[in-house]
Structures are given as C-alpha cells and as structure tokens.
Amino acid sequence: MGAGRVAMTPSLKDRFFTTRKLTVDLAGPLSDADATVQSMPDASPAKWHLAHVTWFLESFILRDHVAGYHAFDDSFAYLFNSYYETEGARHSRAARGLITRPSLARILDYRTHVEAAIDAHWNILPEAALRLIELGIHHEQQHQELLLTDILHLFSQNPTFPAYWPEPAVRPVSGAPCNTMSWIAGPDGLLEIGHNGSGFAFDCEGPRHEIFLQPFALSSRTVSNGEWMQFMNDNGYGEPRHWLSDGWSWVQCDGVTAPLYWQQDKDGQWLTFGLDGLRGVDLNAPVTHISLYEADAYASWAGARLPTEAEWEVVAASHPFDGGNQLDKAGPVRPKSSDDGTLFGNVWQWTGSAYRPYPGFRAAEGAVGEYNGKFMSGQFVLRGGSCATPRGHVRASYRNFFYPHQRWQFTGLRLAKDA
C-alpha cells in the first residue's frame, strides 16, 4: 500500500476546527431573520444553535479550564444554556425565537472569539478539557443536523416555500431505481451490543452487554416513497387496525394523511418540500419525515414489524458506518435511492425500542452528565444517521431518540420480521 493511501486520522484539533467551520458554512445562506425565528417549540432558532454549542465550549473548556478567561457576554449563559439545570436559570425554550438581539453577526463574532481563545490555549488544555473538546465536537455535530432540520421546518411554514439551497428546477426526479426489497438474516442467540469503550461514544451507548436474540431478518433497504404511496392508496391513514392507539389519536387529532412536508399540487401530484425547495416526490427515494406511529402502522400494514435496536445493531456492526449518504459539506441534502451495502445514512430508522438505559448504565457526573439519561422516558430509539448527519458522527452503537409523534428529522423505516 503506497504512502498516498495511508489514511491519517485527523488530529483532534483539526477535527475541532473543521467541525466549527462546517457549522458556519451550513449557516451561510441564513439571513439575520432566518437565524432568529423559532417555528415551533420543538425547534430552535439557528442563531441559538450557533451560540449554544459555543456557550458549551466557553463554559466547560474556557471558564472551567482557562484561568482568567472572561465571558464574551455575561447575558449569554442565560440565553444559550439549553437544559442543564445545574448550570442555573435559563431562557424558556419556547421563547427562544423572541431574541432578536444579539444579532446573527454578533453570534458569529462570539464563535470567532471562543475559537480564538481555545486556539490560543490549546497547548495548555488538560486532558479533561480535551475530552470535553471531543464531546464538544460530537455535540456540535448534533446541532448541525438540528440546524438544518429546524431551518427546513421554518421554511416549510413560509407560503412562498423558499429553497435554502436552490437547485436547477429541471433536476431529474430520481437518479436510480431502488432495488427490490429482500431480507437479510441477522445473527441470533447470545450476542453483545453497546459501545465497547474504544473511541468516542455518548454515555447512553454503553455499557456493552449481552443480550439474547431470536432469529430475525431485516429488510435490505428502507421503505421507499413509492411503497409509502401504496400504503396511502390502500387507506393506510384511515384504517385504525394498523395503528397504535396513541398513533391513531394523533392521526385523527392532527388530520395526518401523508408524511410531513408532502402536499398535493392542483393536479393532485404529490410534492415534497426540502432544503432544495418544493419538488415532485421521488418514488425511489426512501420515505422520510414520518413519525414512529406512521412507521409502526406501515410495518403492521406490510405484515412486518420494526426492528429492535439490538437487532439493528448486531447487523450494523459489520457495516461501514461512515458510508452511505451522510453530510459532508454545506449544500443540498436529501435522501436518495441507494444500495451501497450499508445500513447507515439517508434516513434515521425508527426502531421498536423505547429509549431506556442499558444494564449497568450510569449517567456521568456534573452538568455534562445531564446529557442523555434524563431523556429516557417516552421516546423511541432511531438508528443509522441520515443525509443530514455529519459523516463520522454515527456508529453501530449510536442511539438517537425522539418522541413517537415527532417527524421533522429525516426519519424513515427499515422493516424486520421473525425468521
């Protein structure tokens, strides 16, 4: 193997500044107004994302580990803390969109200021701070994805349907037909899941532990828009027996008849709104922006079920987790038809597993320890990352989680069945 093929792992410092730059690149098309408005309580303003991840670094690196550091602005701790109760009072989540000042420009200055301070003190940062830098990278990657999905939601509320990253209007609807769905048998019996402790992982991914699986198979790819239309045409949204009881209430109450961001034009053709604007539904692309309730109902209708997170993980363990359609740079992101031999990318895959602690789980101490454990009720696990997930962020053991009605992320489904 020639020297040119040696893949040098980028240094922590390189990865840190690369990640910071990507965030700003993703925010490139934002106006001050775009960056300020909050379109629903679940979403946050882009400005808040840009500032919050910076506040995280300023607090846990600079304030805690750099003697004499002075906060860039004393009001920011109040404005940009997210949910760290131990870090003191904070601005109400639902009111984040009312903060028109500081401006986007000032938040970008804040980012520059904190980056410069970290750069200047890099060599004196203790090991504990470097571990928090690593955590800060992954934390920021999560907010990169949220920034995109929150902007998508905001723009979807604008009757003019602006494109965040416009593309040529005549883009062909689909690059490639999707393959026939087949079934991949997974391993069964006594197995292990959970992160093994080598490399970065969030606390909720461990401890690694034994589980026992019955024989099962996963579908070779995620469900496509074309298949979803069959479900719709078969009255899938109107037939209560497919649905969980809470899901049926949600469908009735919210008048749900299609995935989020779908709409019909005056000829009845289905369009979907994305970061590249309003376009025809690509039948071969994976269905996305569906809730757990919809995923479960589809699986029920299809005579299958959702995989458990353990089933998903034992299959994914042999897949390249940095493959597939993930986020590499600022620019249009969308799920696309693919059969690239990986379970990763394109759309997050709802599992049938509630997000609960693994045996032996202990939350980390201190403010950072509030990170995951406290969200372990009412939510379901999603696996695999999406087209909006920064490449390198997910792993086989990675556990994402949302409430079963939420669907503004790039969420889809892969089927499972008993073998």
In this structure, the dihedral spanned by the alpha carbons of residues 327, 409, 40 and 292, taken in order and rounded to 10 degrees, is -170
Residue 304 token pair: 């299958």
Pairwise CA distance, residues 406 & 294, whole Å: 10
Pairwise CA distance, residues 52 & 68, whole Å: 22
Applying CB under 8 A, among 187, 331, 332, 357 the residue interacting with a copy of itself is 357
Binding residues for a copy of itself restricted to 197-256, rule: CB under 8 A: 209-214, 240-241, 243-248
- Could you give the angle at the alpha carbon of 291 between the alpha carbons of 290 and 295, nearest 5°? 80
What order do you get walking across the sheet with 411-412 strand by strand? Answer: 400-402, 380-383, 348-354, 411-412
Pairwise CA distance, residues 79 & 61, whole Å: 18
Max distance between CA atoms of the chain, in angstroms, equals 66
Nearer to a copy of itself, 77 or 232 (CB): 77
Is 354 a binding residue for a copy of itself by CB under 8 A? The answer is yes
Applying CB under 8 A, among 10, 14, 25, 33 the residue interacting with a copy of itself is 33
Applying CB under 8 A, among 27, 154, 178, 258 the residue interacting with a copy of itself is 154
Residue 117 token pair: 């301070």
Applying CB under 8 A, among 1, 8, 9, 31 the residue interacting with a copy of itself is 31
Is 123 a binding residue for a copy of itself by CB under 8 A? The answer is no
Residue 370 token pair: 């509030």
Pairwise CA distance, residues 346 & 1, whole Å: 32
Applying CB under 8 A, among 21, 25, 83, 196 the residue interacting with a copy of itself is 83
Applying CB under 8 A, among 18, 41, 103, 328 the residue interacting with a copy of itself is 103
Residue 189: left (phi > 0), alpha (psi -120 to 50), or beta?
left
Residue 60 token pair: 């846990």
Applying CB under 8 A, among 36, 44, 59, 81 the residue interacting with a copy of itself is 36
Residue 325 CB, nearest approach to a copy of itself (Å): 28
Task: Supply φ then ψ for residue 123, to 5 degrees.
Answer: -70, -15
**Residue found by looking up tokens 């019996």 in the block:** 189
Residue 405: left (phi > 0), alpha (psi -120 to 50), or beta?
alpha
Is 39 a binding residue for a copy of itself by CB under 8 A? The answer is yes
Is 86 a binding residue for a copy of itself by CB under 8 A? The answer is yes
Is 418 a binding residue for a copy of itself by CB under 8 A? The answer is yes
Residue 345 CB, nearest approach to a copy of itself (Å): 27
Q: Which SS3 state, helix, strand or coil, does residue 419 take?
A: coil
Applying CB under 8 A, among 20, 23, 27, 34 the residue interacting with a copy of itself is 34
Residue 393: closest CA among 1, 23, 74: 23
Residue 18 CB, nearest approach to a copy of itself (Å): 28
Nearer to a copy of itself, 151 or 258 (CB): 151
Contact window for a copy of itself (CB under 8 A) among 58-66, 77-85, 136-144, 275-283: 77-85
Nearer to a copy of itself, 75 or 264 (CB): 75
In the complex, the residues that contact a copy of itself under the rule CB under 8 A are 31-37, 39, 75, 78-79, 83, 85-86, 91, 95, 97-104, 154-155, 157-160, 162, 190, 209-214, 240-241, 243-248, 292-293, 296, 305, 352-354, 356-357, 359-360, 370, 374-378, 380, 404, 418
